[in-house]
Structure 1
Amino acid sequence: MNSKALKTLEYNKIIDRLAAYASSLMGKEACRNLVPASDLEEIRLALVNTSDALSRIFEKGSISFSGVKDVRGSLKRLEIGSVLSSEELLRICTLLENTNRVKAFSRREHANTPPDSLDAMFSALEPLTPLSSEIRRCIPAEDEISDDASSNLKHIRRTIQQTNDKIHSQLTSMVSGSARTYLQDALITMRNGRYCLPVKSEYRGQVPGMIHDQSSTGATLFIEPMSVVKLNNDLKELSIREADEIEVILADLSAQVAEYIEAIAGNFSILTELDFIFAKALLSKDYNGTEPIFNTAGRINIKKGRHPLLDKKNVVPIDIHLGRDFDLLIVTGPNTGGKTVSLKTVGLLTLMGQAGLHIPAFDKSELALFEEVYADIGDEQSIEQSLSTFSSHMTNIVSILQHADERSLVLFDELGAGTDPTEGAALAISVLSHLHSRRIRTMATTHYSELKVYALSTEGVENACCEFDVATLRPTYRLLIGIPGKSNAFAISSKLGLPDFIIEDAKSRLTAQDETFEDLITDLETSRATIEKEQAEIERYKSETQALKKKLEEKQARLDERSEKIIREANEKAHEILREAKEYADQTIKNFNKYGKEGMSAKDLENERNRLRGRMSDVEKNLAYKTKPAAKKQHKPADFKIGDSVRVLSLNLNGTVSTLPNAKGDLYVQMGILRSQINIKDLEVIQEPAVTASSSATNRTGAGKIKMAKSSTITTEINLIGKTVDEAIAVLDKYLDDAYIAHVPQVRIVHGKGTGALRNGVHSHLKRLNYVKSFRLGVFGEGETGVTIVEFK
């Protein structure tokens, strides 16, 4: 690919962005050396690598390759038997540790994840964990060898520490002793690797030893006392032994590394390649790139393509196609309308795709494989070569015509500009006609109306324009293929304040043919805008219709499913109820058959009948069709009085009000032996039928009126739970009187089971009442021993 086109289309800026995403120096170098390829298989493999790396980034996040150091020089030295330094060994260790991290990153989370193009590279990595662990154990950091690198080194360093302690102890005693007056400072210093004391020059004879240095003024001499000379000599010897032992350790580590030269070199090469591939993936992620589809038919179809160097939040995507119905596209329209950006977008996306990079466009965008891309874009005026703008452009055009062939993409910006418009338009038509005859894919921008006419009248050539909003004097940057663009010079000039008489004079100077052509373009623009608006409405209606259809289908499916489920559950429930009823009936028949044979009394038979009646009632309720309940009446606290019969809706139980509602609407309800606090929102007052006397008994006497009054308020049940015997008898006595006066044939007294004291007290009182015909404890379904049923005479 020619370097001029790469520079003109700003391919180098894309490469700079790509290199910024690489972690290692070698990865960055690989990015900077990336150029577009012309081999289709190579391009497709590079694109697949980028896509697979992007998928792994979305799956597990990015991976750093910063630990990939260039160790090729060290490996060369190992091949000839050299010993590596601690820094070199540490770089190799870091490389192997990074290899281990990358290897771990490559493991897929799901076992059924399909393989990709990077699996082979990841599999070829050899972390050599034992070797890296051994290097890290011996060399924890640069210029540092661990004491545990060898037992000999540990012994030497322990001896050095002991010798240092002896020297410091000896010198400290001198500094703090009688020699203190001879010293310039009470401190221990080092000169030439030996411990010394700073002695005043006038007392040099008082401190026997070797002089190693003196101060710049000569007032201080640095003397090594004779008492520590031997210790310093020992320390020097130990230091030499330490250095020798370190050399032995480095030699041993170098020998271990030398056994894996090929594996380490392979790791370095693979990690560099992976760093490069993942940098391409990160660049794609940055501008929401997709993998383009390449073809060899010269067909370009970019969907919602964006120039990658423009702000992705503000750039207007363009749809552009070339090479299918036409191979020459002429883009017209006003300045600053986006013509040049459209031209550069096509060229740059082609270069990026052939370099194995994703392009900022919608999925399934197509690019053609070109061996060369030629671009003549921008102001090419050269003062040094004494070339005008036209001459410079024409020089480029001549070169392009000489080298371009049908496997090339040619881009012209303002073709024929910089000279007489008539001659420039004629030249532009001739150049484009020549390229078109050779079937060379070409895209050109122009202002010349002659080129618009040429595109309209020539087969295989198409017009395009960059949309411009005359009302706001702003370009929309939308590329419209099939419609020539207007210069809008008169409209723009008028909006900017040019007097109308000048504009009218300019219009009068246009030929009739020019005016007709401009009017035709205006009509085309208007028709296009109307059609686009109608198409948008049709698409919106279509989307709404499809959404409604889908919603109805889903609703019908849910209804069908619920219907089937309800029918199935109803059948199962009915079957279960009938089975239970049959079993219960069989058992009841057996019990009836025993009557008179096994000493069953009439009372036992009555109890059995009551149980059967209750069971049948339950079955009928379960089998009954449940209609939608009527709306519950909203009650106020004042609607509830102690003794009122109510239904607890949430429990589906009847009960009696025991207390008045509090401020929150909560009150206590007695439901058999259960007493619970319920809110009035969960209650419904039961309107029990009043028990009235016969008309002959009431007539219109005072006694009749009393009975009617009592019957309108009396209930058939009284709850005595929670009261003492004395309290209960007082309330019960009045209640029984009222019930008897109201001609209630039978009442139910709820006293609970408990200790039996309240029940015994109630029964004792009932025995003393003459109007009580009989009383008994409740049976199953009536409350059993927790209630007493009273029948009046």
Structure 2
Amino acid sequence: MNERVLRLLDFSRIVSEVTARCQTPYGEERARLLRPFANIVDARAALSDTEEGSVYYRLKGEPAFARTGDLREVVARAGVGGILGAAELYALAETSRSARRLARILSELCERADVSRFARQFAALDLPKTLEDEIFRCIDEDARILDQASATLADLRASMRSVTQRMRRSIDEMLRSTSIQNYLQDQIVTIRNDRLCLSVRADAAQHVRGIIHDQSASGATFFIEPERVAALGNELRRYEVLEEREMERILSELSALVAPHTDVLLEAIEVIGAFDFAVAKAAFAHAERAIKPELDERPILHLVQARHPHLDRAVAVPLDIHLGESFTQLLITGPNTGGKTVSLKTMGLLTLMALSGLFVTAAEGTRIGWFDEVYADIGDEQSIEQSLSTFSSHMTNIIRILREASSSSLVLFDEIGAGTDPTEGASLAMAILDELRARGIRTVATTHYSELKAYAYTTPGTINASVSFDVETLTPTYRLELGIPGKSYAFAIAERLGLPQSLIEQARARLKTSDERVEDLISHLTRRVHEAREDHEQAHRARQDVERLREQLEERVRLEEEERMVRKKKADEEIRAYVKRSQREADDLISKLREMAASGAVKDHQLTEARARIRKLAPDPTLDATPRKRSDETLAKGDEVRVLSLAGQKGTLMSEVGSGEWLVAVGSMKLRVNRKNMELLRRAEKVETPVVMLKRVSDGVSPTLDVRGQTVQEAIVEVDRYLDKAVLSGYHQVTIVHGKGTGALREGLLLYLRTHRRVRTYRQGGEGEGGSGVTVIELA
């Protein structure tokens, strides 16, 4: 990519901003070399790296890299047997440790985010932890070799501390000695040539035995190392020499440990650099609110809400731009201000950013095609706010573009044809655009020539666009409108700036009729386009309203269905609970009946029948709840059916109560059930009843039995005997009077009647019959 174009489109500034966000010299090196890639595969891989860096940055912030210089030369030196310094060794261990730490963090992140590319790279590093541990054991963060690095070093330093203490004690004793104090200039100890010295008056120097190391500037003081201290100093110096040799030996051994691992350390440095660079790109994207663009293999542009990253977000108006699909040339017209140039630079810069693996300052849905080169002719390397160039510089650049550009290139012209006679310049511009269009080269050009506005209307594959302009403030709004040519607003701007109205009228009078017609046509088309756009937006809003209502209706239906299913589930659970409770109560009743049977009050066969009939209330545990295919057979009263909506409970049809609905007796319950929720089990038995002459017994059996005041057990025994007599007496319906009271007697009798062989149905008494104080029984 041409370096001049990168500079013209402000890409160099983007590079500097990304570089500033890197934390390591390796990341900075990659950032400084940031350029568009030579193929789309590498560009997509770089975008994936930026995406993983963005995930890490969002979840973890900036990584904690080791703060070191460039260690590649250090590692190489260790690889050929060189001896590294303590600071260099510590920096290598720190780098290895930070790489190991990042490997662990990325591995953990993989469980909840996609950072697999870098996680694999860090995990593949076979970093020498034993080397790290050994270096940290021997060297601290201030690059000091620790006493524990070797036993010899520890002993030497212990001896040095002992000698130093003896020296300090000796010289302190001399300071306190009255025989010496008279010769001293000051009661202090100074250091000269790394030796402890006394400040002795020059006239008394001969009285203090020792070595003179220095003299004051005035000559009045000699700095003398006392003789007995000098001996200790010599001993200390000997230990220091031994210490230096031991430390050199330790550094040599540690450097030798580094040598076998130079390859993996260099690989770790590369991975750290790549990750640092990726996170720096992510940090830049986060600061600019940039998104990952989709790279298209075709040379197209589809920018959604795009903005120049160097414009203030608070005032910049996003651009919607597309190029290369339905048309290949875009001519941006309008006032001769910075608005058109900003649009041009935004397209070029975002294209360069995407092809370099950077996120772009646009909205989701942005697609940027693969361009092998981006060419730009934007004046004399102007800034966004300026528009200055010469015709010759334009032509030199344009000739080079025509010579080099291909059908996969993107060409940007600012004020094409400017800098010469307007008529000739416009004609030359149209010839250049024709050449580029014939070669299929995607081109965007800005102009204020009316001839080029007409050219865009009459040339296939070319459309007009304009940057809207606020005449009141004399500033562009940066809103790009496709399909609408821009006006120059020369008269309006001049009037706003204070040019006399008379001069403006003279200018209008001198305007060519053809130019005036073009401006009128542009105004008319602009109004029509705006009207069409407004109609489109209204239709879009209406569609959105309809879609919103549809979604609300679907949500309401869904909620109602969920509520219906909840109610059905609750009802099913209540029915099952009721059946289980009834079964338990029946078992309790049977237990009590058994006790009574033992005393002879109830017959054994009655007990067996009661148990069998009670068990019919329980659901079949092997029942398949899956709806079966039901026949269209006609049902009839007395048929035995399975009620599918009641978990397969069995029931008997009593009567048809409506279209497709039956009254079904399920145990003691009578329910309205739809035909589709029933499955026929068995037809009602057709029993031929023989003609029998029954003689009504005249034993005084009443159609009403009063059991009020009795216990449940007493009442059950009496009711059982009574029902046998009532059947023999030919009654079809009888009434049991049990009273209201606490309801215990009533509930106990109803539980018993549910399974009685003599009872077909029963009900509570109606008005005039006794109400809830009686139970009316239809005999079988």
Q: Report the CA distance shift for 1:258/1:472 in structure 2 as closer, same or farther (over 3 A).
A: closer
Q: Is the 8 A contact 1:125 1:270 kept in 2?
A: no
Partner of 1:614: 743
Partner of 2:153: 153
Once the 2 structures are TM-superposed, how far is the Cα of residue 264 of structure 1 from its aligned partner? 1.2
Deviations 1:256-315 (A, max 9, x none): 111211111111122122222222222222222233333443222222221122123332
Q: Report the CA distance shift for 1:112/1:341 in structure 2 as closer, same or farther (over 3 A).
A: closer
Alignment of 1:566-577 (within 5 A): 566-577=567-578
Deviations 1:186-221 (A, max 9, x none): 222332222222222222233222322222222222
Deviations 1:686-710 (A, max 9, x none): xxxxxxxxxxxxxxxxxxxxxxxxx
Partner of 2:247: 246
Partner of 2:769: none
Once the 2 structures are TM-superposed, how far is the Cα of residue 474 of structure 1 from its aligned partner? 4.8
In structure 1, distance between residues paired with 2:489 and 2:370: 37
Alignment of 1:73-222 (within 5 A): 73-109=73-109, 111=111, 116-178=116-178, 179-222=180-223
Could you tell which deviates more after superposition, 238-247 or 533-542? 533-542
Alignment of 1:507-546 (within 5 A): 507-546=508-547
SS in 1 for 2:109: coil
In structure 1, distance between residues paired with 2:77 and 2:474: 69
Deviations 1:590-640 (A, max 9, x none): 7699599799x99873899899943488999xxxxxxxxxxxxxxxxxxxx
Partner of 1:786: none
Partner of 2:2: 2
Partner of 1:304: 305
Matched, 1:461 2:462: yes
Q: Is the 8 A contact 2:56 2:115 kept in 1?
A: no
SS in 1 for 2:229: helix
Q: Is the 8 A contact 2:19 2:28 kept in 1?
A: yes
In structure 2, distance between residues paired with 1:303 and 1:619: 78
Q: Is the 8 A contact 2:109 2:115 kept in 1?
A: no
In structure 1, distance between residues paired with 2:181 and 2:713: 120
Q: What letter is aligned with 1:75?
A: V
Q: What letter is aligned with 1:164?
A: T
Q: Report the CA distance shift for 1:220/1:316 in structure 2 as closer, same or farther (over 3 A).
A: same
Deviations 1:636-677 (A, max 9, x none): xxxxxxxxxxxxxxxxxxxxxxxxxxxxxxxxxxxxxxxxxx
Partner of 2:701: none
Q: What letter is aligned with 1:195?
A: L
Once the 2 structures are TM-superposed, how far is the Cα of residue 152 of structure 1 from its aligned partner? 0.9
In structure 2, distance between residues paired with 1:39 and 1:356: 11
Deviations 1:493-530 (A, max 9, x none): 44455555544443333333333322221122112222
In structure 2, distance between residues paired with 1:584 and 1:118: 69
Q: Report the CA distance shift for 1:495/1:618 in structure 2 as closer, same or farther (over 3 A).
A: farther
Partner of 1:605: 711
Partner of 2:16: 16
Q: Is the 8 A contact 2:35 2:356 kept in 1?
A: yes
Matched, 1:41 2:41: yes
In structure 2, distance between residues paired with 1:160 and 1:459: 92
Q: Is the 8 A contact 1:38 1:370 kept in 2?
A: no
Matched, 1:409 2:407: no
User: Size of the alignment, in residue pairs?
Assistant: 615
In structure 1, distance between residues paired with 2:709 and 2:352: 104
In structure 2, distance between residues paired with 1:296 and 1:572: 61
Once the 2 structures are TM-superposed, how far is the Cα of residue 15 of structure 1 from its aligned partner? 0.6
Q: What letter is aligned with 1:184?
A: Q
In structure 2, distance between residues paired with 1:339 and 1:480: 11
In structure 2, distance between residues paired with 1:380 and 1:100: 47
In structure 2, distance between residues paired with 1:524 and 1:616: 94
Q: What letter is aligned with 2:248?
A: E
In structure 1, distance between residues paired with 2:745 and 2:423: 107
In structure 1, distance between residues paired with 2:233 and 2:304: 81
Partner of 1:51: 51
Q: What letter is aligned with 2:103?
A: K
Q: What letter is aligned with 1:199?
A: V
Matched, 1:556 2:557: yes
Q: Report the CA distance shift for 1:292/1:614 in structure 2 as closer, same or farther (over 3 A).
A: same
Matched, 1:431 2:560: no
Q: Is the 8 A contact 1:588 1:612 kept in 2?
A: no
Q: Report the CA distance shift for 1:64/1:606 in structure 2 as closer, same or farther (over 3 A).
A: closer
Deviations 1:729-784 (A, max 9, x none): xxxxxxxxxxxxxxxxxxxxxxxxxxxxxxxxxxxxxxxxxxxxxxxxxxxxxxxx
Partner of 2:507: 506
Report the aligned-residue RMSD: 3.2
In structure 1, distance between residues paired with 2:514 and 2:442: 31
Q: Report the CA distance shift for 1:231/1:589 in structure 2 as closer, same or farther (over 3 A).
A: closer
Once the 2 structures are TM-superposed, how far is the Cα of residue 182 of structure 1 from its aligned partner? 2.0
TM-score (normalizing by structure 2): 0.73
Alignment of 1:317-716 (within 5 A): 317-336=318-337, 338-379=339-380, 389-469=390-470, 474-577=475-578, 579-581=580-582, 583-584=584-585, 587=588, 605=711, 613-615=742-744
SS in 1 for 2:197: strand
Once the 2 structures are TM-superposed, how far is the Cα of residue 414 of structure 1 from its aligned partner? 0.9
Partner of 2:25: 25
In structure 1, distance between residues paired with 2:143 and 2:524: 80
Could you tell which deviates more after superposition, 297-306 or 65-74? 65-74
SS in 2 for 1:303: strand
Q: Is the 8 A contact 1:337 1:467 kept in 2?
A: no
Q: What letter is aligned with 1:276?
A: F
Q: Report the CA distance shift for 1:278/1:367 in structure 2 as closer, same or farther (over 3 A).
A: same
In structure 2, distance between residues paired with 1:293 and 1:391: 38
Once the 2 structures are TM-superposed, how far is the Cα of residue 467 of structure 1 from its aligned partner? 2.1
Once the 2 structures are TM-superposed, how far is the Cα of residue 115 of structure 1 from its aligned partner? 6.5
In structure 2, distance between residues paired with 1:282 and 1:45: 18
> What are structure 1's unaligned runs of at least 5 residues?
382-386, 621-793
Q: Is the 8 A contact 2:379 2:390 kept in 1?
A: no
> What are structure 2's unaligned runs of at least 5 residues?
383-387, 602-706, 716-738, 750-780
Q: What letter is aligned with 1:162?
A: S
In structure 2, distance between residues paired with 1:538 and 1:493: 39
Once the 2 structures are TM-superposed, how far is the Cα of residue 28 of structure 1 from its aligned partner? 1.2
In structure 2, distance between residues paired with 1:344 and 1:229: 77
Q: Report the CA distance shift for 1:4/1:301 in structure 2 as closer, same or farther (over 3 A).
A: same
Q: Report the CA distance shift for 1:582/1:24 in structure 2 as closer, same or farther (over 3 A).
A: closer
Partner of 1:279: 280
Q: Is the 8 A contact 2:379 2:389 kept in 1?
A: no
Q: What letter is aligned with 1:152?
A: T
Q: What letter is aligned with 2:117?
A: S
Q: Report the CA distance shift for 1:237/1:496 in structure 2 as closer, same or farther (over 3 A).
A: closer
Partner of 1:680: none
In structure 1, distance between residues paired with 2:168 and 2:532: 98
Partner of 1:776: none
Q: Is the 8 A contact 1:577 1:619 kept in 2?
A: no
Q: What letter is aligned with 2:55?
A: S
In structure 1, distance between residues paired with 2:746 and 2:362: 73
Q: What letter is aligned with 1:483?
A: I
Q: What letter is aligned with 1:605?
A: T
In structure 2, distance between residues paired with 1:388 and 1:301: 30
Could you tell which deviates more after superposition, 543-552 or 585-594? 585-594
SS in 1 for 2:133: helix
Q: Report the CA distance shift for 1:65/1:578 in structure 2 as closer, same or farther (over 3 A).
A: closer
Q: Is the 8 A contact 2:56 2:279 kept in 1?
A: no
Q: Is the 8 A contact 2:307 2:317 kept in 1?
A: yes
SS in 1 for 2:101: helix
Q: Is the 8 A contact 1:103 1:127 kept in 2?
A: no
Partner of 2:763: none
Once the 2 structures are TM-superposed, how far is the Cα of residue 441 of structure 1 from its aligned partner? 1.7
SS in 2 for 1:307: coil
In structure 2, distance between residues paired with 1:164 and 1:192: 16
